[in-house]
């Protein structure tokens, strides 16, 4: 199965790429100004992810058009700037957050949306943003908030479109793998390999070497 990852020129894009690779799917990365809607349609992706990025949705290239074009047919996940893109695609606005947060860990409370299935509330996430989604349109449903009141996640009321303001791919975030698994699971043909490691079992990301289970070592014999 195939996922198209729209790169908004952000260093976190390839952290997301590596996180998706944990599920052994085909991940195609394309910069937001180097791919067309027709190109993406030809790829016939099973999922689309819109990456984080600098600035605001006006500087996210093709990203907003991607949401509007594929919203009916393809599950879409927006991360950080990607969530702001989704909000604006349906008529919302982006404004300054109360405080810029870059590399800060905070607790998030959620409303048992399928994206957070199996994840406790609250849980800890990494935030890297100075903007926030405001004036969320009626077509979008808020699903998670930080303790400072900033919106941390949303979904479309009926279409397979989700956004998270935090970074599930960051080592500072809990349950990153589970969130990605829940997103991939929105496709009816996706079957999770039960042999995959969970977040708590992974000590090192795959790109640093083989994942290692954190099971106890056998006791030494006398």
- Catalytic residue numbers read 80, 167, 169
Backbone dihedral region of 138: left (phi > 0), alpha (psi from -120 to 50 degrees) or beta?
Answer: alpha
Alpha carbon distance 200, 177 (integer Å): 9
Per-residue DSSP letters for 75-142?
-EEEETHHHHHHHHHTT-EEEEEEEEEEEEEEEEEE---GGGTT--SSEEEEEEEEEEEES--TTEEE
Dihedral in degrees, nearest 10, Cα atoms 141, 71, 185, 145: -20
Alpha carbon distance 164, 50 (integer Å): 11
- Residues whose CB is less than 8 angstroms from the CB of residue 217 and which lie 6 or more positions away in sequence, other chains included: none
């Amino acid at each position: 199965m195939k996922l198209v990852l729209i790169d908004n020129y952000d260093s976190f894009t390839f952290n997301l790429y590596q996180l998706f690779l944990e599920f052994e799917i085909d991940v195609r990365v394309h910069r937001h100004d180097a791919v067309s809607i027709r190109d993406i349609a030809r790829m016939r992706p099973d999922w689309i992810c819109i990456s984080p990025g600098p600035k605001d949705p006006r500087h996210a290239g093709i990203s907003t058009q991607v949401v509007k074009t594929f919203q009916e047919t393809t599950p879409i996940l927006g991360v950080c700037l990607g969530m702001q893109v989704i909000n604006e695609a349906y008529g919302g606005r982006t404004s300054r957050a109360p405080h810029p947060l870059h590399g800060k860990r905070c607790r998030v409370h959620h409303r048992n949306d399928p994206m957070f299935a199996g994840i406790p509330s609250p849980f800890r996430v990494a935030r890297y943003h100075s903007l926030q989604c405001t004036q969320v349109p009626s077509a979008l449903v808020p699903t998670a908030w930080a303790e400072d009141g900033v919106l941390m996640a949303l979904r479309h009321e009926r279409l397979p479109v989700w956004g998270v303001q935090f970074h599930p791919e960051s080592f500072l975030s809990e349950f990153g793998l589970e969130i990605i698994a829940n997103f991939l699971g929105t496709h009816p043909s996706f079957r999770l390999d039960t042999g995959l490691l969970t977040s708590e079992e992974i000590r090192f990301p795959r790109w640093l070497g083989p994942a290692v289970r954190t099971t106890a070592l056998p006791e030494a014999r006398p």
